[in-house]
Structure 1
């Protein structure tokens, strides 16, 4: 087993702050999981993983080739990660009620 830390763990460590509420911690941990999932999907897409292709015997001995939808899933996971990071940043932003943002009304 490698002692190398996962990029997901590194993300969690970099985004975690003392005193974070549980609701924010959950978002940070989920973002870390998604980063690790994306790394796995990248390995599948680049051919470094052994699970990108499965053979299954069908009716009458026919062989069916199934290729997982790794690229579609990677795109969806990347989109969710982006949304989580935006939400984490929004929750970390200090409340500046004194300053009005002209874009708030858009």
Structure 2
């Protein structure tokens, strides 16, 4: 099982059921990773991390300053997390009564 941060582990533990199919477990793993990633991005945005800028030497020897666009990435990750959690919840909902055939009663 992958290593998670505190909030990632908490989310994964709340979502995971050992009887889940591997595809659902994979969604839970990705959701937990995103939560951890969002925590790191929040630290960058709030100034608690010193990795928001870095110096990079280009091929021609020019030194570039690269500024990470953490806020934009955080918004994108939050959107993906919402979609993953919605899909996980959809898959975990009990199946409707019947055999799932929407054509019952026709004929």
Q: Kindly report the root-mean-square deviation, in angstroms, between the aligned alpha carbons of the 2 structures.
A: 2.1
1:90 aligned onto 2:80? no
**Paired residues, what number?**
94
Please report how far the alpha carbon of residue 17 of structure 1 lies from its aligned counterpart in structure 2 after TM superposition.
1.3
The aligned residue for residue 13 of structure 1 is: 13
1:50 aligned onto 2:50? yes
The aligned residue for residue 81 of structure 1 is: 81
Deviation string 1:15-55 (CA, Å, 9 cap, x unpaired) is 11130110000000100000000000000001111111123
Map 1:24-39 → 2, pairs under 5 A: 24-39=24-39
Please report how far the alpha carbon of residue 57 of structure 1 lies from its aligned counterpart in structure 2 after TM superposition.
5.8
Please report how far the alpha carbon of residue 70 of structure 1 lies from its aligned counterpart in structure 2 after TM superposition.
0.6
Report the TM-score when normalising by structure 1. 0.78
Report the TM-score when normalising by structure 2. 0.77
| Structure 2: tracts of 5 or more residues without a match | 99-107
Please report how far the alpha carbon of residue 65 of structure 1 lies from its aligned counterpart in structure 2 after TM superposition.
3.0
Please report how far the alpha carbon of residue 56 of structure 1 lies from its aligned counterpart in structure 2 after TM superposition.
4.2
